[in-house]
Chains A and B, each alone.
Chain A
Amino acid sequence: MNYEPVIGLEVHAQLKTKSKIFCSCPAGFGGNPNEHVCPVCIGMPGVLPVLNRRAVELAIRSGLALNCEIAEITKFDRKNYFYPDLPKGYQISQYDQPICRRGHLTIGGKEIRIHRAHLEEDAGKLVHAGAAGLHGSEYSLVDFNRSGVPLLEIVSEPDISSAEEARCYLMELRNILRYIDVCDGNLEEGSFRCDANVSVRPVGQKELGTKTEIKNMNSFRAVQRAIQSEIDRQVAALERGERIVQETRLWNEATGTTHPMRSKEEAHDYRYFPEPDLVPLVVEREWVNEVSAGLPELPEQRRTRYVEQHELSPEDACLLAESKELSDFFDRAMLAGAPAKAAANLLMGPTVWYLNENKIEFSQTHITPENMKDLIEALNAGTLSSSTAKQVLFELLKAPGDVQAIVKEKGLAQMSDEKGLTEVVSKVLTDNPAQVSDFRGGKTKVRQFFFGEVMKATRGTANPQMVNKILDELLTR
C-alpha cells in the first residue's frame, strides 16, 4: 500500500525584545547562570507579571508577516505543571484567545496554513551533574536566565506532506522572522525550536492517521531526518499490521531514530485557566495598522521583484533572498548602478564562499555598493579577469578599500599588452619543448596546460582571449 505523510509543525521563536515578557530583566542570550533574574521571573511569592508591550508588538508583526488575523481582544492563561525549570509551577501562555490566527506562508508555490501563533514565557534551563537528564543525575542545577523570555509559538495546520517540505517550511518561516527582525532564528542556541506532529495514512484516505509528536531536533537537517525516520517507522509498523500509538517521541541524533518519551496517558493535564494577574488586552486597530505600515519587504515579495525587475532566474532570486543581509546589500548595489546578474553572481558565489570560509556574517565585511559597481565595471572593461576580480572582491570584504587602488597596489590589472603577452607565451613554449611536440603530434589537450602556465606566470592577470589568440598563432606557426 502507498502511504502519505501528514505533518504539522510547532515552532517556538524567541522574540528579540530587550527585556523579558513580564519583568524588566534582560532577555538576551548569555550571562552567568542566574544573573538575569529578579523576583518576578523566578516566581517568588507575592510578585506580579506586567506585560511587555514590545513583545506584543513583535507578535503582531510576526502575525502580519504570516498573513494572520490579529485578535481584537487577547488574553493570557495559566498552563499548570510541575517541573524544576518552571518557577511558578505554571507557565503564562495563551489558550483560547491567541493573539494571531489563520495565516499562511508559501513554499515553492504551495500554501501552508498557519493555525495560530500565541505569546508565552520561556522556562529556565536545567543543568545535570553525572547524567544527561534529571534521571540518574547526582544533582541538577537550575538557570533561570531564560525564564520569562518571550516566545511566539507558531502552530501550522497539518498541510505539510514530506520531510523535505517540513524543512522548507521551517527555513521560510525562519527567513520571514529574520526579515522582520523579530527572532534570531538560531536553532543551536535554541532561539528557534521546532516540534513535529507526524502521521501517515493510505493515499486517498480522508481521515488522519494516529499522530506522534517528535521533539529534540536541533537543526534543519535533524528536523528532516527525524520526520523521515518517523514516517518510515510508522509505515513499517502499519505494514506489519501494528497500530500507531499516540505518544511523544524524542529524536536521537546519534542513532538516527526516534524513541518514546511519554504516552498519551502520561500526558499532562495542564488545567488551563485565565491568568487573573493580567487583564485581557485590547489590541487597538490603529496599533496593528502602525505595525503593518512598518513592515519591511518580505522574502516572497523580494523574490518576485528580483525576477520581474532585475530579471534574475527564479532559482537565483530564491537563493539571494534567502539571506536578508546579502539581498539588502544587493538592493543597495542596484541603487548604486551595479548590473544585477553580475552582482548576484558575485554575492552568491565568491562572497558566500568567503563568509563560510572565514565563518563570519556579511555585516562583518566592509564592501560598499559603490565597490560592487566599480568591480563589475572593471570586469566588464577587461581591466580585471574573473579570477582577479575575485581577489579584489576578497580584499574589499576584508577591509575598506577602493577597486582601482587595490588593482594598482596588488598589480592585478589585466595584461592586454600584445607584445608582452607574446613574450610570456613564447617563453612557456620554449620551456616546454616536449609538450609542444606532443601538441604537434595531435595531443591537442596539452593546449590547456600552456594556458595554465601563462596564467600562472602572470598571476591570473593575462587577458584570456589574447592568450588564446597568441597561443593559436605560435602553435600553428
Chain B
Amino acid sequence: MKELVGKSVQELRALLGGKAVSAREVLAAHRQHIDSVEPELQAFNCLTEDLAARQAARVDKLIADGEVLPPLAGVPIALKDNICVPGYPTTCSSRILESYRPPYQATVAERLQEAGAIFVGKTNLDEFAMGSSTENSGFKPTRNPWNTAMVPGGSSGGSAVAVASGMSVIALGSDTGGSIRQPASFCGVAGMKPTYGRVSRFGLVAFASSLDQIGPLGRCLEDVAITLSVISGHDGKDSTSLSLPVPEYVKELTGDVEGLRIGVISELTGQGMDAEVLESVELAARQLGQLGAGVEEVSLPATRHALAVYYLIATAEASANLARYDGVKYGYRHRQAEDLLSMYRASRQEGFGVEVKRRIMLGTYALSSGYYDAYYKKAQQVRRLIKEEFDRAFARFDLLVCPTSPTVAFEFGARTGDPLQMYLSDIATIPVNLAGLPGISIPCGFGKSGLPIGLQLIGPTLGDAQVLRAAHAFEQATEFHKKRSPVLSAA
C-alpha cells in the first residue's frame, strides 16, 4: 500500500490502466498516509471522504468497463479551502464562514471531477488567502513537512504541504500575490500561477478579483502541466476568463531551451534577498545557460513599487469583496446585537481575524472620498507602468527569472508581529500578479538548514507553455525535485 504514495500522475495512470491497482486502493493508501502524518502537519480543514470514495468507485468502473481513462483518473488531489465543492464546508479558514456550505461547484472542481481526479480534502490557508505563512488561518497552523518548526508559507500552505508530504499527488491553490509560488518554494514543490484569465475563477472565493488566479501544485512539472490543461479554458460563468484554445501543456515539455532568451531581474536578485537564496538562483540561471539558453541581466525599476501598489489595489478590492460577510444571509452572526449597525460591527469584529480586518481598513481608506486619487487611482497608474515595463522586457526576453521568495521557510511567529516584514516575503511574486503574467516556482536548491529554495520563472501573457517547458528542462537536468520531505521519504 505504502508504495502507492509519492507517485506521479503518469505512474499512477500506468498502474491503474494496467489494472495493477484500483483507484480505491490508491485512495486507501493516501488515506492511510494522511492518518499518520496529518495530525502533526494539519494541512486539511476537512477531508472529503464520501466524495472521494464515490469518485474512486467511478474511476474503477471506467477501468472495469475498459474505457479510455481521463487525464487525472484516480489521482488524489487536495483543494484549497477557498474553492467551492458542494456538500462540504468552504471556510476560507475564517470563523465568519466556518459553517458555510456552498450549494454550487467551482468550475475548476467540475473540470477536475470530469478528468477523474479524487478529492481528498480541503486545505488550510491564511484567512481569505491573506498572508504568507498560513499562520493567519482562523483555525490552526499548518506545519512545514521539511521541518515542523517552520511555516509552510502561504496562503496556500495547506495545499503545498499536502503535495510535499505525499497526502495528495497534486493540489490546487490560489495566487493573488504569490500564494501558490511562495508556499511551493517553502515546501520544495512546483507551483504555478497561470496567466490571469487562463483559469476560471467561478467558485473561488474572491480576495482581490483582478489579481486572483487558481493554479496547480505538484511534485513534478509533468503533473503541473497535466493539471493545468485540465483546469484551463474559457468559462461562461467568468467574464474575465479568456476564450482562447488550451494547449496540451504536457506536450510542450520537450526539454528544449536552446536559444531561449532569459533575463535575470536585477532588482529582485540583490538587496533584501538572503545570500543562500541568491546563490542557488545564480547557479540555476547558469544551469539554464548550460542547457542552451542565453542568460542576461535585465532591470525592471518599476517593480520596486509593486509592493505598495499591491497593498492598495488588493486591499481596495478586498474591502468590497468581503463586504458580503455581514451576518445577514449566511456565516457568523453576532446574536445579541441591539440594532443593525451593532450587528454588522460585532459580527465582522468577531468573525474576521486581525490581518483581514487590517486589510479591509486599508482598502476602505484607499477608496475613500478625498483619498481615491492619491491612493487607488495612483496605484492603478503605477500598475500599468509595471505591466508596460514587463511588456518591454518581453520584447527582448522569452522568460524572466528571480528567486520566488527572499528567504527559505521561517519559524512560526517570526514575522507575525511585523506585517511589513511578512509582506516582504512576497516581494518577488507580487509584480507577476499585477501584470497578469504566468509564473512558476520550482525547487532549485537547499539552504544551510536543509530547507528548499525556489526559483521563479516568469513568462509573457499566455506564455504558460514556455514557462512550463523551461521549468521542466531545468527539473530534468537537476536532482532537486527528487529530494523528498522527510515525512514523505519515510512513507
* Interface set of A (CB-CB < 8 Å, partner B): 39, 42-51, 78, 80, 82, 84, 87-90, 134-135, 142, 269, 271-273, 276-279
Contact = CB atoms under 8 A, between A and B. Distances in A.
A78 B344 CA distance: 20
Contacts of B344: 82
Contact of B84 (A46, A80, A278): A46
A134 B337 CA distance: 14
A300 B481 CA distance: 76
Contact of B106 (A43, A46, A87, A90): A46
B448 interface: no
Contacts of A80: 319-320, 323, 367
A42 B364 CA distance: 23
8 contacts: A46-B204, A88-B323, A135-B339, A142-B328, A271-B368, A271-B369, A276-B317, A279-B240
B209 A277 contact: yes
A87 B321 CA distance: 11
A273 B316 contact: yes
Contacts of B324: 43-45, 87-89
Nearest to B197: A279
Interface string B181-197: 00000000000000000
B201 A48 contact: yes
Nearest to A89: B323
B442 interface: no
A329 to B, nearest CB: 43
Nearest to B369: A269
Contacts of B422: none
B104 A89 contact: no
A78 B92 CA distance: 23
B326 A45 contact: no
Contact of A82 (B210, B317, B326): B326
A45 B240 contact: no
B368 A269 contact: yes
B201 A44 contact: no
Nearest to A42: B329
A196 to B, nearest CB: 24
A45 B97 contact: yes
Nearest to B235: A48
Given A89-B324, A276-B209, A39 B240 contact: no
Given A45-B205, A271-B320, 12 more contacts: A42-B329, A44-B329, A46-B206, A48-B201, A48-B238, A50-B239, A80-B320, A142-B328, A271-B372, A273-B367, A273-B372, A276-B240
Contacts of B340: 84, 134
B259 to A, nearest CB: 36
A137 to B, nearest CB: 10
Contacts of B82: 46
Interface in B302-350: 316-317, 319-320, 322-326, 328-330, 339-340, 344
B56 to A, nearest CB: 26
A140 B100 CA distance: 22
Contacts of B369: 269, 271
B66 interface: no
B340 to A, nearest CB: 6
Contacts of B205: 45-46
Contact of B329 (A43, A47, A50, A134): A43
Interface centre among A43, A45, A47, A84 (most CB of B within 10 A): A45
A427 to B, nearest CB: 80
A277 B240 contact: yes
Contacts of B203: 46-47
A39 B324 CA distance: 12
Interface string B219-250: 00000000000000000111110000000000
A373 B340 CA distance: 64
B441 interface: no
A265 B316 CA distance: 23
B119 interface: no
Nearest to A22: B239
Given A42-B329, A44-B104, A49 B368 contact: no
Contacts of A278: 239-240
B173 to A, nearest CB: 15
A82 B327 CA distance: 11
